[in-house]
Amino acid sequence: MNAFISSLLRPLRTIPLVLSAALLLTVGGATAFGGESGDKPLAGKHVLFLVADQFHDAETFFPLGYLAARGASVTVAGLAPGTVGAYNSNATIDVETTVAELEIDSFDALVIPGGGSPGKLRQDEALVRFTADFFNTGRPVAAICHGPQVLVTAGVLVGLEATCFGGMSDELEEAGARYIDRPLVRDGNLITSRLPKDLAPFSEAIAEALAGG
């Protein structure tokens, strides 16, 4: 295993077999994921993932691997440094830091996976404030499934089109957004998707936004 793959897998403690295969395919730049081996169009880009305990495994690992395979550097931040677990498998990931230790200008995009994680993240005032401030820079902010809960609490969705897990569509609209039931919705710097089956277009959209598309 080369140094790049080792560095990518270091935060991941236990990954179900199916996710391991998907992640390694992504790292390898498989054409099924839209990239050629050795192609690093996102080199020099820095992406921040916000993750807490009870995260959704695929909604975290798939975009993380997709972006890292294309050369982006990834930092995982959350409520406190340490290992947190997925709600839907025995997968875990290492949270490296908190937003209190980070500078917004150090990152080119922000990603919020779903699961039970966003419900915990939205209770942290500093993290919510960081998210709002990041969103207001105009840099890409991507959220999938329950991920938009953090953006609802941050108060940044007024007047925007977005999607999410169908069960929280009312909450999205109460926050001033227009809910659209599509696999991918982009509105300005906001990128949202609904479910794990939407992960391919979701990840592609983040990469396109980082590349300036």
For residues 19 and 207, which has the higher predicted lDDT (pLDDT)?
A: 207
Identify the weakest region by mean pLDDT among 26-35, 110-119, 143-152, 192-201: 26-35
Task: Give CA–CA dist 136/140, Å, rounded.
Answer: 10
Q: What is the DSSP letter of 194?
A: -
Task: Give CA–CA dist 124/51, Å, rounded.
Answer: 12
Q: Is 142 within 8 Å of 202 (Cβ atoms)?
A: yes
Residue ranges making up the domain that contains 28: 3-210
Question: pTM, whole model, 2 decimals?
Answer: 0.85
Residue 69 φ then ψ, to 5°: -65, -25
Any catalytic annotation for residue 46? no
Question: Which band of pLDDT confidence, cut at 50, 70 and 90, is reported for residue 39?
Answer: confident
Number of domains in the chain: 1
Check which CATH number belongs to the domain holding 140 and give it: 3.40.50.880
144 has pLDDT over 80:
yes
Which of the following is catalytic: 45, 122, 146, 186?
Answer: 146
